């Protein structure tokens, strides 16, 4: 006897949960208010061209390989994926440029050429420390349900490995610890940028987050069709195992009874009964009553001052000149601390660092062969405060942001054509897409030693109501959202198993069973 599960939201976390639950034989319905799946992993048209408007860096490929395998499929039959040889190209001026590579020895050589032998040794030590932190936390924290500090985490790590608890360096800021590895402030700035992957400041985030650098160093991959193609492949995977998708329909209310979550009421008044409800939205939407008063008590509120960063995002179709772009490019400002001071005060950045994903470029070593002719597609990102729910952006302000962005690029030698076709997405636009967030793209900011333990986990205060997605544990980013989906699916399976008349227990050890499709054809 299968249980009924409703997944609210078809972001990456919700899609993974839906696919895994359907593969376990559950009756799964996915409700998505937009007319596409993927959540932030979406495409928008600019000048007649589809441009990826969400996450662009694909790492931890093995997480998705496992999801497809468990669901009776193979990711490589569903998607065309190839490794990026150049992880990212970085610039500080027209004369200061540094590439990091998939080959760590080549990155070390590149850093040595850029900043000297001492910097290369510092990179080697930094890489070793980042790898150790990742190895300590991968199984004990990232792939498990929410855990608290310090004893429960120590129990997962192993009571005989007390030194590992100190090795994750939760009480020191990343900026401070990077100073131990790099005297060159440009390199300190480069590796501090990884905190922005979870919408946070390197001056306030724990050094634990250097594990993000190791995640990227393990491999960056390029998906043909972008991250939206991954979302579509996950949808197809879920549907192949029996999940149903209802796009363009919103959930007005989550219903509860004495046993916990009991179903959802759609905006059109229709009721869908459920034994488990998985909410793939920012937990703030629950806390602020976006899904009704009954669900409001499920989670605690995140104060506005604890929100992660938002962004100003230009989706552009433009000609460029002067700088040999790779796929992923970062143009740094001369004063990194000033950027985050302005963000902390709720201001747009006067002289910002800029990220560009050049979506028609390769990420290989032959940069001279990678440049297309004519206009090409770009996603351009500048960090911004998450104030989209309380700040009205004037056209004058938007124009000033565009001028600041292009000025930063010009300082590093990249020229964009004048009046290039583009669409500018603001924190207010993100707040409209993801209500109650102010446009925060990563949930709670990872500031302070306890940040990882304060992030909402899969379980809520309402039995049978679970949270999944990049705003929940274990954190922001596409692979972390997928891990959250796995954790949420396990929690929901335990709930569904406990409600069966036969009272069978949920299987331990993850989701590794044959799919409904595989079982029926065996």
Q: What is the pLDDT of residue 453?
A: 72
Where residue 491 sits, what CATH number does that domain have? 3.50.50.60
Q: Beta strands of 56-197 (E only): which ranges?
A: 81-83, 86-93, 96-101
360 and 329 part of one domain: yes
First-last CA distance in the chain: 20
Distance CA 27, CA 22 (A): 6
Q: How does pLDDT run across 413-441, given as a tens digit for each residue?
A: 999 999 999 999 999 999 999 999 999 99
Q: What is the pLDDT of residue 94?
A: 95
**pLDDT of 519 strictly over 70:** no
341 and 364 part of one domain: yes
Asked if residue 480 is part of any domain, the answer here is yes
Q: What is the pLDDT of residue 2?
A: 72
Distance CA 340, CA 267 (A): 40
Q: What is the pLDDT of residue 516?
A: 40
DSSP string, 416-446: EPTT--EEEE-HHHHHHHSTTSTT-SSSB--
Q: What is the pLDDT of residue 451?
A: 72
The chain-wide mean pLDDT, for the chain, equals: 89
Q: How does pLDDT run across 300-315, given as a tens digit for each residue?
A: 888 888 999 999 999 9
**pLDDT of 450 strictly over 80:** no
340 and 452 part of one domain: no
Q: Are 467 and 456 in contact (CB under 8 A)?
A: yes
Q: Beta strands of 20-155 (E only): which ranges?
A: 27-32, 43-46, 49-52, 81-83, 86-93, 96-101
Asked if residue 47 is part of any domain, the answer here is no
190 and 271 part of one domain: no
Q: How does pLDDT run across 49-67, given as a tens digit for each residue?
A: 999 999 999 999 999 999 9
Asked if residue 115 is part of any domain, the answer here is no
367 and 428 part of one domain: yes
Helix (H) or strand (E) holding 279: strand 276-279
Q: How does pLDDT run across 478-502, given as a tens digit for each residue?
A: 999 999 999 999 999 999 988 766 5
Question: Would you tell me how many other CB atoms lie within 10 Å of the CB of residue 103?
Answer: 14
Q: What is the pLDDT of residue 158?
A: 56
Asked if residue 163 is part of any domain, the answer here is yes
**pLDDT of 349 strictly over 70:** yes
Question: Would you tell me how many other CB atoms lie within 10 Å of the CB of residue 134?
Answer: 20
Confidence tier at 518 by pLDDT (50, 70, 90): very low
Q: Give me the percent of the chain exceeding a pLDDT of 70.
A: 89
257 and 175 part of one domain: no
Maximum CA pair distance of the chain?
Answer: 70
The DSSP bridge partners found for residue 266 are: 251
297 and 310 part of one domain: no
299 and 447 part of one domain: yes
232 and 257 part of one domain: yes
Distance CA 15, CA 234 (A): 6
468 and 513 part of one domain: yes
The four Cα atoms 328, 333, 338, 339 give a dihedral, to 10 degrees, of -30
**pLDDT of 506 strictly over 50:** no
422 and 473 part of one domain: no
Residue 378: name the closest of 337, 301, 461, 317 by CA. Answer: 317
Asked if residue 393 is part of any domain, the answer here is yes
Last residue of a domain, one of 194, 218, 242: 218
- Give the range among 11-15, 177-181, 515-519 with minimum mean pLDDT: 515-519
369 and 285 part of one domain: no
Q: What pTM value is reported for the model?
A: 0.90
Mean pLDDT of the 304-329 span: 95
Asked if residue 93 is part of any domain, the answer here is no
User: Torsion-angle region of residue 366: left (phi > 0), alpha (psi -120 to 50) or beta?
Assistant: beta
Q: What is the pLDDT of residue 112?
A: 97
Tokens found for residue 493: 């399976």
Q: How does pLDDT run across 74-127, given as a tens digit for each residue?
A: 999 999 999 999 999 999 999 999 999 999 999 999 999 999 999 999 999 999
Contacts (Cβ under 8 Å, ≥6 apart) of 275:
3, 4, 5, 262, 464, 495, 496, 499
Contacts (Cβ under 8 Å, ≥6 apart) of 111:
98, 119, 120, 123, 187
Task: Give the domain extent around 397.
Answer: 305-433
Q: What is the pLDDT of residue 146?
A: 60
- Give the range among 164-178, 315-329, 359-373, 507-521 with minimum mean pLDDT: 507-521
3-state SS, residue 69: helix
Last residue of a domain, one of 402, 433, 464: 433
Exposed / middle / buried, residue 497 (Cβ in 10 Å: 0-12, 13-18, 19+): middle
Give the count of domains, the chain: 3
**pLDDT of 150 strictly over 80:** no
**pLDDT of 179 strictly over 80:** yes
Q: How does pLDDT run across 461-477, given as a tens digit for each residue?
A: 999 999 999 999 888 89
Last residue of a domain, one of 171, 196, 218: 218
């Amino acid at each position: 006897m299968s249980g009924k599960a409703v997944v609210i939201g078809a972001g990456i976390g919700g899609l993974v949960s839906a696919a895994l639950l359907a593969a376990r034989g559950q009756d799964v319905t996915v409700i998505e208010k937009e007319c596409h799946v993927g959540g932030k992993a979406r495409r928008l048209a600019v000048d007649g061209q589809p441009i990826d408007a969400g996450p662009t860096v694909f790492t931890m490929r093995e997480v998705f390989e496992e999801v497809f395998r468990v669901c009776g499929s193979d990711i490589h039959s569903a998607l065309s994926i190839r490794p990026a040889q150049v992880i990212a190209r970085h610039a500080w001026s027209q004369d200061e440029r540094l590439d990091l590579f998939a080959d760590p020895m080549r990155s070390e050589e590149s850093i040595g050429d850029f900043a000297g032998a001492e910097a290369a040794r510092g990179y080697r030590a930094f890489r070793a420390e980042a790898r150790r932190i990742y190895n300590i936390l991968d199984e004990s924290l990232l792939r498990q349900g929410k855990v608290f500090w310090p004893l429960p985490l120590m129990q997962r790590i192993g009571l005989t490995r007390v030194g590992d608890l100190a090795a994750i360096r939760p009480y020191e800021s990343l900026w401070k610890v990077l100073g131990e590895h790099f005297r060159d402030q440009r390199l300190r700035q480069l590796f501090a940028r990884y905190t922005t992957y979870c919408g946070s400041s390197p001056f306030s985030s724990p050094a634990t987050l250097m594990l993000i650098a190791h995640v990227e160093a393990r491999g960056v991959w390029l998906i043909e069709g972008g991250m939206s193609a991954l979302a579509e492949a996950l949808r197809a995977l879920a549907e192949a195992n029996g999940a149903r998708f209802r796009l363009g329909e919103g959930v007005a209310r989550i219903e509860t009874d004495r046993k916990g979550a009991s179903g959802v009421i759609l905006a059109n008044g229709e009721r869908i009964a459920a034994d488990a409800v998985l909410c793939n939205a920012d937990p703030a939407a629950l806390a602020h009553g976006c899904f009704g008063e009954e669900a409001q008590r499920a989670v605690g509120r995140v104060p506005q001052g604890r929100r992660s960063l938002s962004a100003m995002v230009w989706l552009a179709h433009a000609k460029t000149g002067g700088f040999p772009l790779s796929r992923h490019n970062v143009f740094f400002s001369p004063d990194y601390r000033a950027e985050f001071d302005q963000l902390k005060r709720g201001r747009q950045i006067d002289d910002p660092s800029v990220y560009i994903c050049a979506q028609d470029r390769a990420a290989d070593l032959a940069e001279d062969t990678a440049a297309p002719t004519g206009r090409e597609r770009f996603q351009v990102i500048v960090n911004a405060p998450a104030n989209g729910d309380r700040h009205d952006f004037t056209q004058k302000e938007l124009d000033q942001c565009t001028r600041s962005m292009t000025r930063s690029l010009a300082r590093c030698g990249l020229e964009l054509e004048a009046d290039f076709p583009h669409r500018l997405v603001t924190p207010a636009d993100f707040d409209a897409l993801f209500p109650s967030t102010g446009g925060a793209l990563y949930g709670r900011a990872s500031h302070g030693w306890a940040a990882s333990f304060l992030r909402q986990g899969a379980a809520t205060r309402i039995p049978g109501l679970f949270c999944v997605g990049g705003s929940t544990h274990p954190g922001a980013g596409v692979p972390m959202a997928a891990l959250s989906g796995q954790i949420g699916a396990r929690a929901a399976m335990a709930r569904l198993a406990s409600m069966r008349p036969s009272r069978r227990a949920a299987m331990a050890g993850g989701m590794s069973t044959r799919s409904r499709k595989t079982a029926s054809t065996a």
